[in-house]
C-alpha cells in the first residue's frame, strides 16, 4: 500500500505484444521496449508523473467532496431538528397556554368546593343535633343519613380531595415543563456559580436519592454567565434520570471541571441500565420516553438540550446498554453579544453538535 502511489514503468528488451499486455495487466503504468531514445524515456516519465499528480489531486478533491457531503448531511439533520423543535415549540406553547387557565381555575375552585361541602355536612350535623335536643322523632332523619351514607361522605371527601390535588399538581408540573420547553419563561442571564445550583438541586432531590451512592468529584468552577434556573433544571432532569436508571441502589458520580480557560463541564454518570442504541438516536426528541405512563413525559432531555444549546454549550451522552450512561454538559463561561440576544429571544442557535457520542 505504501507504494501504491508510485508510478511503475517497465523498461525491457521483451518486446512481444503478449508480454507487454501481461506487464500492463500486472500493474505497470507504462511499458518501454529497447532500444529507446533517452528523450522518449524522459517524455514518458514526465507524462507518468503528471498523471500520478493529477490522480492524487483528484483523490484529494474526492476526499474533500466526501467531507463536504458529510457536513452537508449533518447540517441538514440539524436544520430538520431545529425546524421540528421550533414547530413543536409553537404547538406545545399553545397547549400549555390553553391548559394553564383551566388548571388554575380548577385548582382555585377545588379548595372552595371542599370548604363548602364540609360546611354543608356540618350544617346537617348541627340540624340533626338540634332536632334531638328538641325531642323530635329523628327516625326518618336517621334513615335518610343511612340511605345517603352521610357518615362516609366526610371521610371520602378527604381522599377524593387528595386524589384531585395530586392530579392537579401533576398537571401543573407538566404545564410548567411545557412552558419551559416552549421557552415561555425567559428571565435574564447573570453570572452564576454552577456548583451552588448543583448542590441545591441535590438537596431538593434528597428523598429521591435515598439509598443511592452519590459521589461528588467537584472541582471549583469560575462563574458562568447563564440563566441559572434553567441550568439547574437541566441538572435536575439529568440527576433524576440517573436515579431512575440505577433504581433502588447504585452509584451516581457527579464531576465538574474546566474544559479550557473559557469552558466548564459538569458530568453526571450512573451505573444504571444504560441506553439501547436505537433509543440513543431518539433520546432528545420531545415526548420520547421509555417510562410507564405517569412516570415520564419525555420532555426532560429535550428541554435540557434546548437550554444548553441556547447557552452556546453542548449536551453530550455516552452509553452502552447495561453499562450505565454519562451525560456531559459543557458551557462557555461568557456569552457573546449575539448569543445573549439569542438567549433573550429563545432561539436555538445554528451549528448544534450531534448530542450522541458514538
Ligand atoms: P423522561 O425521563 O420523562 O422519560 P427524558 O427526556 O428525561 O424523559 O428521557 C427520555 C428517555 O431517555 C427516558 O425515558 C429513558 O429511556 C432515557 N434516559 C434518560 N437518561 C437516562 C439514563 N441516565 N440512563 C438510562 N436511560 C436514560
Rounded mean pLDDT, 310-319: 92
Rounded mean pLDDT, 235-259: 94
CA neighbor of 127 nearest in space, from 150, 152, 161: 150
Rounded-to-integer distance, Cα 24 and Cα 18, Å: 10
Q: Which residue CA neighbors atom 7 of ligand 1 most closely?
A: 300
Query: Residue 51 half-sphere exposure, CB side, CA atoms within 13 Å?
Result: 11
Which mutation among 279, 282, 285, 301 tests ligand 1's pocket best, with the greatest number of atoms within 8 A of CB?
301
Q: What's the pTM?
A: 0.58
Quick count: other Cβ atoms within 10 Å of Cβ 143? 10
Query: What separation in angstroms does the CA of 189 have from each of 124, 227, 336, 345, 352?
Result: 57, 4, 12, 12, 20
User: Is the beta carbon of 288 within 6 A of some atom in ligand 1?
Assistant: yes
DSSP three-state, residue 161: helix
Rounded mean pLDDT, 192-203: 88
252 vs 174: which has the higher pLDDT: 252
User: Which of ligand 1's atoms lies nearest the C-alpha of 300?
Assistant: 7
The alpha carbon of 296 and the centre of ligand 1 are apart by a number of angstroms equal to: 8
Which mutation among 208, 289, 293 tests ligand 1's pocket best, with the greatest number of atoms within 8 A of CB?
289
Check pLDDT > 70 for residue 349: no
Q: How confident is the model at residue 186 (pLDDT cuts 50, 70, 90)?
A: low
User: Is the beta carbon of 300 within 6 A of some atom in ligand 1?
Assistant: yes
Rounded-to-integer distance, Cα 299 and Cα 240, Å: 13
Residues 150, 151, 154, 157, CA torsion sign: negative
Rounded mean pLDDT, 93-117: 88
User: Is the beta carbon of 241 within 6 A of some atom in ligand 1?
Assistant: yes
Structure confidence at residue 127 (pLDDT): 94
The alpha carbon of 121 and the centre of ligand 1 are apart by a number of angstroms equal to: 47
Q: Which residue CA neighbors atom 13 of ligand 1 most closely?
A: 289
Cell of 355: 448530542
User: Is the beta carbon of 198 within 6 A of some atom in ligand 1?
Assistant: no
Q: Express each pLDDT in 48-75 by its tens digit.
A: 999 999 998 999 999 999 999 988 887 7
Q: What is the DSSP string of 19-84?
A: HHHHHHHTT-SEEEESS--HHHHHHHHHHHHHHHHHHHHHHHHHHHHHHHHHHHHHHHHHHHHHHH
Which mutation among 170, 241, 253, 294 tests ligand 1's pocket best, with the greatest number of atoms within 8 A of CB?
241
User: Is the beta carbon of 283 within 6 A of some atom in ligand 1?
Assistant: yes
Q: Express each pLDDT in 129-176 by its tens digit.
A: 999 999 999 899 999 999 999 888 888 888 888 899 888 888 888 787
* Range of weakest confidence among 117-131, 254-268, 283-297, 311-325: 283-297
Phi first, then psi: what are they for 139, rounded to 5°? Answer: -60, -40
Q: What is the DSSP string of 93-118?
A: HHHHHHHHHHHHHHHHHHHHHHHHHH
Angle at CA 285, nearest 5°, toward 284 and 291? 85
User: Which of ligand 1's atoms lies nearest the C-alpha of 291?
Assistant: 14
Burial class (CB in 10 A: 0-12, 13-18, 19+), 283: buried
Arithmetic mean of pLDDT over the chain: 87
User: Which of ligand 1's atoms lies nearest the C-alpha of 238?
Assistant: 20
The alpha carbon of 32 and the centre of ligand 1 are apart by a number of angstroms equal to: 69
Q: Express each pLDDT in 265-302 by its tens digit.
A: 999 999 999 999 999 989 988 889 999 877 888 888 98
Structure confidence at residue 80 (pLDDT): 75
Quick count: other Cβ atoms within 10 Å of Cβ 113? 14
Query: Residue 112 half-sphere exposure, CB side, CA atoms within 13 Å?
Result: 5
User: Is the beta carbon of 343 within 6 A of some atom in ligand 1?
Assistant: no
Q: How confident is the model at residue 85 (pLDDT cuts 50, 70, 90)?
A: low
Check pLDDT > 60 for residue 354: no
Angle at CA 318, nearest 5°, toward 327 and 358? 145
Rounded mean pLDDT, 107-114: 89
CB 175 within 8 A of CB 96: yes
Q: Express each pLDDT in 1-53 by its tens digit.
A: 788 888 999 998 888 889 889 989 988 999 999 889 999 999 999 999 999 99
Query: What separation in angstroms does the CA of 355 have from each of 4, 86, 285?
Result: 39, 18, 11
Structure confidence at residue 184 (pLDDT): 55
Amino acid at each position: 500500500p505504501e507504494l501504491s502511489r508510485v508510478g511503475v514503468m517497465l523498461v525491457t528488451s521483451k518486446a512481444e505484444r503478449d508480454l507487454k499486455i501481461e506487464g500492463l495487466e500486472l500493474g505497470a503504468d507504462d511499458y518501454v521496449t529497447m532500444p529507446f531514445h533517452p528523450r522518449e524515456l524522459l517524455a514518458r516519465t514526465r507524462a507518468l508523473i503528471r498523471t500520478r499528480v493529477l490522480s492524487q489531486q483528484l483523490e484529494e478533491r474526492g476526499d474533500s467532496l466526501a467531507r463536504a457531503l458529510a457536513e452537508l448531511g449533518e447540517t441538514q439533520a440539524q436544520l430538520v431538528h431545529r425546524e421540528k423543535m421550533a414547530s413543536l415549540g409553537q404547538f406545545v406553547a399553545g397547549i400549555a397556554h390553553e391548559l394553564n387557565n383551566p388548571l388554575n381555575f380548577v385548582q382555585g375552585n377545588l379548595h372552595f368546593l371542599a370548604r363548602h361541602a364540609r360546611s354543608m355536612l356540618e350544617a346537617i350535623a348541627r340540624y340533626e343535633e338540634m332536632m334531638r335536643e328538641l325531642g323530635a322523632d329523628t327516625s326518618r332523619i336517621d334513615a335518610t343519613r343511612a340511605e345517603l351514607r352521610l357518615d362516609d361522605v366526610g371521610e371520602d371527601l378527604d381522599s377524593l380531595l387528595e386524589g384531585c390535588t395530586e392530579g392537579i399538581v401533576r398537571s401543573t408540573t407538566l404545564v410548567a415543563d411545557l412552558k419551559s420547553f416552549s421557552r415561555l419563561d425567559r428571565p435574564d442571564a447573570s453570572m452564576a456559580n454552577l456548583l451552588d445550583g448543583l448542590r441545591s438541586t441535590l438537596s431538593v432531590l434528597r428523598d429521591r436519592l435515598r439509598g443511592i451512592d452519590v459521589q461528588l468529584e467537584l472541582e471549583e468552577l469560575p462563574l458562568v454567565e447563564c440563566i441559572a434556573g434553567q441550568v439547574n433544571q437541566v441538572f435536575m432532569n439529568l440527576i433524576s434520570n440517573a436515579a431512575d436508571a440505577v433504581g433502588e441502589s447504585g452509584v451516581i458520580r457527579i464531576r465538574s471541571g474546566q474544559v479550557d480557560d473559557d469552558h466548564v463541564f459538569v458530568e453526571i454518570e450512573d451505573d444504571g441500565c444504560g441506553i439501547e442504541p436505537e433509543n440513543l438516536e431518539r433520546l432528545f426528541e420531545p415526548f420520547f420516553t421509555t417510562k410507564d405512563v405517569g412516570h415520564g413525559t419525555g420532555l426532560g432531555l429535550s428541554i435540557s438540550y434546548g437550554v444548553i444549546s441556547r447557552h452556546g454549550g453542548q449536551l453530550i451522552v455516552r452509553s452502552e446498554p447495561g453499562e450505565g450512561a454519562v451525560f456531559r454538559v459543557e458551557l462557555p463561561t461568557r456569552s457573546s453579544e449575539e448569543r445573549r440576544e439569542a438567549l433573550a429571544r429563545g432561539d436555538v442557535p445554528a451549528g448544534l453538535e450531534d448530542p450522541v457520542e458514538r
